[in-house]
């Protein structure tokens, strides 16, 4: 199966809605908010800055451009109409944020018109990420910033002991839902060859806390997908989902993934 996030608008509405629910759960997880604060909280933006998120999903990270990064106006660009509708509903009360359907490879934004471009867990899903980076370079003003954060997917795990079967579901989900597992290990070279100057690179450990809401969406979707593809019988899928929920209820669940952020700058005009 190809990564459904890479062409979400072409997926059935029920699949888009299930992914939107999972994205929403992840965005609202306090440990995920802390990661976004770590890399967006200390960017130096000019007064009245205009910021754009490429691949804005349900819009919570676009909102961070205002509330954490301190931009005055923000736009989210996203190909899935269901995500855009969800984002518009979520942030209807904030006129300084808008959302549009569109493609990060061809945004239609004017050259040199944006102070900050953000890509939060976008590039791992895009075949040809270099085209997205070139588009960011084109729309950024000289001196403008690009902030990228994505999972370092080979580090994702729910394993609590040798041969733990729950971990296979996480591996399967990544295999089925991520186009490039290694994007954050390859990004620096892509940025430099596009003309960006590299700024801060940081690692952010994500450990699922308390009710592990987002990690449980990973297990549930992964187990269902294993059943759909014939890897598991339905009863086994349900048993593994129940195992995950019971671990959460009995404080035995462990879920971890490392994220990496990279900030880069378009060189200022001479
Ligand atoms: C994992 S979600 C992340 C959404 C949001 N950034 C967040 O963190 O909640 C990746 C998003 O990128 C979008 N996407 C995929 N390919 C895209 C493209 N070529 N241009 C813009 N967005 C794209 C998907 O539709 C999806 O909503």
Is residue 57 lining ligand 1, measured as CB closer than 6 Å? yes
Is residue 259 lining ligand 1, measured as CB closer than 6 Å? no
Six token digits for residue 18: 């299930």
- Give the CATH number of domain 4-151+180-206+259-265: 3.40.50.150
What's the pLDDT score for residue 210?
83
For the chain, the domains span: 4-151+180-206+259-265
| Lowest-confidence segment of 11-15, 139-143, 248-252, 254-258 by average pLDDT | 11-15
Q: Is the model's pLDDT at 1 over the cut of 60?
A: no
Higher pLDDT, residue 79 or 18: 79
What's the pLDDT score for residue 270?
66
What's the average model confidence in pLDDT over 192-196? 98
Residue nearest to atom 11 of ligand 1 (CA): 55
Distance separating alpha carbons of residues 36 and 33, to the nearest angstrom: 5
Q: 53 and 63 in contact (C-beta within 8 Å)?
A: no
What's the pLDDT score for residue 269?
78
How many angstroms does the Cα of residue 5 sit away from the middle of ligand 1?
Answer: 7
How many angstroms does the Cα of residue 117 sit away from the middle of ligand 1?
Answer: 14
Q: Which of 24-28, 126-130, 213-217 has the highest mean pLDDT?
A: 126-130
1: number of CA atoms within 13 Å, CB side? 18
First-last CA distance in the chain: 48
Residue 230 backbone zone (phi > 0: left; psi -120 to 50: alpha; other: beta): left
pLDDT in tens, 198-244: 999 999 999 998 899 999 999 999 999 999 999 999 999 999 999 99
Average pLDDT of the chain, as a whole number: 96
215: number of CA atoms within 13 Å, CB side? 27
Instruction: Give percent of the chain above pLDDT 70.
Output: 99
Pocket test for ligand 1, best of 2, 7, 79 (most atoms within 8 A of CB): 79
How many angstroms does the Cα of residue 207 sit away from the middle of ligand 1?
Answer: 22
How many angstroms does the Cα of residue 3 sit away from the middle of ligand 1?
Answer: 12
What's the pLDDT score for residue 113?
98
pLDDT in tens, 47-100: 999 999 999 999 999 999 999 999 999 999 999 999 999 999 999 999 999 999
Is residue 190 lining ligand 1, measured as CB closer than 6 Å? no
């Amino acid at each position: 199966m190809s990564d459904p996030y890479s062409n979400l608008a072409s997926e059935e509405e029920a699949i888009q809605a299930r992914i939107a629910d999972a994205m929403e759960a992840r965005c609202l997880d306090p440990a995920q908010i802390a990661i976004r604060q770590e890399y967006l909280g200390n960017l130096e933006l000019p007064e009245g800055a205009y910021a754009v998120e490429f691949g804005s999903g349900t819009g919570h990270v676009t909102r961070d451009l205002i509330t954490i990064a301190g931009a005055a106006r923000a736009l989210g660009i996203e190909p899935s109409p269901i995500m855009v509708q969800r984002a518009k509903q979520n942030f209807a009360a904030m006129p300084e944020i808008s959302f549009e359907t569109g493609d990060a490879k061809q945004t239609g934004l004017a050259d040199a018109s944006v102070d900050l471009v953000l890509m939060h867990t976008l590039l791992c899903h895009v075949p040809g990420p270099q085209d997205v980076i070139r588009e960011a370079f084109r729309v950024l003003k000289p001196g403008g910033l690009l902030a990228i954060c994505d999972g370092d997917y080979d580090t994702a795990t729910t394993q609590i002991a040798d041969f733990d079967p729950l971990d296979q579901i996480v591996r399967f989900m990544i295999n089925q839902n991520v186009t490039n597992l290694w994007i954050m290990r390859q990004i620096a070279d892509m940025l430099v060859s596009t003309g960006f100057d590299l700024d801060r690179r940081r690692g952010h450990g994500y450990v699922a806390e308390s009710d592990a809401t987002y990690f449980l969406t990973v297990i549930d979707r992964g187990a269902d997908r294993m059943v759909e593809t014939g890897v598991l019988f339905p009863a086994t899928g349900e048993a593994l989902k129940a195992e995950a929920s019971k671990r959460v209820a009995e404080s035995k669940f462990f879920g971890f993934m490392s994220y990496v952020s990279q900030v880069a700058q378009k060189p200022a005009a001479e």
